[in-house]
Amino acid sequence: MKVVIAGGVAGGASAAARLRRLNEKAEIIVFEKSGYVSYANCGLPYYIGGVITDKSELTLQTPESFWQRFHIDVRVKHQVTSINREKKTVTVKNLVNGCEFEESYDKLILSTGAKPAIPKLENIESDKIFTLRTVEDTFKIYDFADRSNPKTATVIGGGFIGLETAENLAHRGIKVTLVEYADHVLAPFDFDMACQLHNVLRKNGITLMLKTGVTGFEEKKGKIISKTSNGGCIESDMVLLAIGVVPDTELAQKAGLELGIKNSVVVNDNMQTSDEDIYAVGDAVEVKHYVTGKKALIALAGPANKQGRIAADNICGIKSTYKGSQGSSVMKLFDLTAASTGVNESLAKVLGIKYNKVVLTPLSHASYYPDAQPMTLKLIYEEETLVILGAQIVGYDGVDKRIDVIATAIRAGLKATDLCDLDLAYAPPYSSAKDPVNMAGFMVENIVTNKVKQFHYEDLENIANDSNAFLLDTRTPYEYRYGHADGFANIPVDDLRDRINEIPKDKKIYVMCQSGLRSYIACRILSQYGYDCYNFSGGYGFYETIEKGKMQNKNIYPCGIEK
């Protein structure tokens, strides 16, 4: 059996190694158009920032190591340019000498990945404008930074690559402006959860311009000027374009394979295309979203590696299926960690899913053990069935393991209330006896059993204009004095029973505290005295984060002059 693989990064390299483990006699050839194979896409920004200092650390394998261990023929700087499905051959171009040749196959795997989205804008071809997708891109940016010593940079796009590169450019001492078309960074997150990311960006000296598009570029006196949709200009020494990626499927299109959303390659559960002898994996393929069941594009390394393995299994006669992606992801942003899985509120609304949510701000481990750090956890679940739809967590410690637990719970089909019963490891340096994941389950259970009702940040404007509402802050006078939401009266929870006559019984009572715990206790007290009480989801700390996070930086007019 002869297997040809077009593309040798995550999915292609994974497929090649799995094929050899399953079939020692198969002839396996990998063609990779870049100069590197099996490289760590996710590590590229950290080389730019000097966190990773050795170039060789960016490549997990080399053509030589692939041959030495697996006897797999890997040829870099070779691009598959066309497929002849009838003859079962591919045309390959040697990018070093320009020569072309044909290679036959029994089975073909397309792992062509995705490419940076590059809009048709004025002067987009400037050599001061960079994208980051390959090892060569990384070295190009690194060498430019070393050679030109830029003092300023504009990063366009607030996704994973944009944020990680912005952080690493800042580590080099470069003043960064981050431009994002939406009202918040990181699309998998909702606005309220992304506000904490906005705050940490600004805290670390990055100018954040939200709800701002870029309409073109101009070079002037050695600078690159980014023109914005609101008539402003941003002057800098370099620009990173990181507005997203699109499936790189020109090869599949020319071959007449069935295409799906955004021209991605349609595959079945075995990663097989519309041609039974051609498989496709990675960022170029259309997948099923595990939670919604809808078609989706999810460009992440984890799914790509799994898909490569599954394609290899099926080629070798092992029935193996890909059950869908749920978009589990995590990233570091300075000292903050942000992670998500499944569906966010925005997507749930678009799909018309009737959902509910809880927001809590627990500590990463026992409060009495040193260095406990807060995290904000939002859990989204289907209101009628209690099926977990997704979660987002932002914090400083222990975020990754909590998102992994919830991601696993989604795969296991657990309901939100089942999180109460998870038997999770506990020791004071690592968790609390009631883990944050357990606490999310307890909160859902309290809502389902009518022990508490809640209100959210987006409800505050209507509540403030409701003459039938009484707003109550149950924190200490000291906490209240140093910041509180407008219109909230202060009665500490420990004084509540003695001062209960100050609270009108003919109004709805909306209660807030720092994290949501004391206000929950207050609601339990008040409800048993006959009050109609609602607890604020997330607490004042969450409210304050959103208020700060939605602030806009000043736009820059015209070209570096603040107005």
Q: Are 376 and 514 in contact (CB under 8 A)?
A: no
DSSP letter for each residue of 508-548: EEEEE-SSSHHHHHHHHHHHHTT-EEEEETTHHHHHHHHHH
Q: Are 513 and 522 in contact (CB under 8 A)?
A: yes
Q: In one letter, which amino acid is 138?
A: T
How far, in Å, CA of 117 to CA of 221, rounded?
Answer: 28
Q: How many CB atoms lie within 10 A of CB 171?
A: 16
Q: Which of 125, 75, 84 is nearest to 108 (CA)?
A: 84
Q: Are 142 and 132 in contact (CB under 8 A)?
A: no
Cα-flanking dihedrals φ and ψ of residue 413, to 5°?
A: 75, 25
Burial group, residue 562, by CB count within 10 angstroms (0-12, 13-18, 19+)? exposed
Is 42 a residue of the active site?
yes
How far, in Å, CA of 366 to CA of 433, rounded?
Answer: 8
Angstrom CA distances, 539 to 145, 174, 425, 526, stand at: 43, 36, 27, 18
At 333, which helix (H) or strand (E)?
strand 329-333
Task: Indicate which residue of 42, 316, 420, 559 is catalytic.
Answer: 42
Q: Pairing state of beta strands 129-130 and 238-241?
A: parallel
DSSP letter for each residue of 38-76: SB-GGGHHHHHTTSS--GGGGBS--HHHHHHHH--EEEE
Q: How many CB atoms lie within 10 A of CB 204?
A: 16
Token output for 9: 């990064």
How far, in Å, CA of 444 to CA of 420, rounded?
Answer: 9
How far, in Å, CA of 447 to CA of 356, rounded?
Answer: 10
Number of Cα atoms under 13 Å in the Cβ half of residue 80? 31
How far, in Å, CA of 72 to CA of 18, rounded?
Answer: 11
Three-class SS of 150-192? CCEEEEECCCHHHHHHHHHHHHCCCEEEEECCCCCCCCCCCHH
Token output for 470: 């009484």
How far, in Å, CA of 212 to CA of 227, rounded?
Answer: 10
Token pair 């800042």 is found at: 170
How far, in Å, CA of 199 to CA of 202, rounded?
Answer: 5
Catalytic residue positions? 42
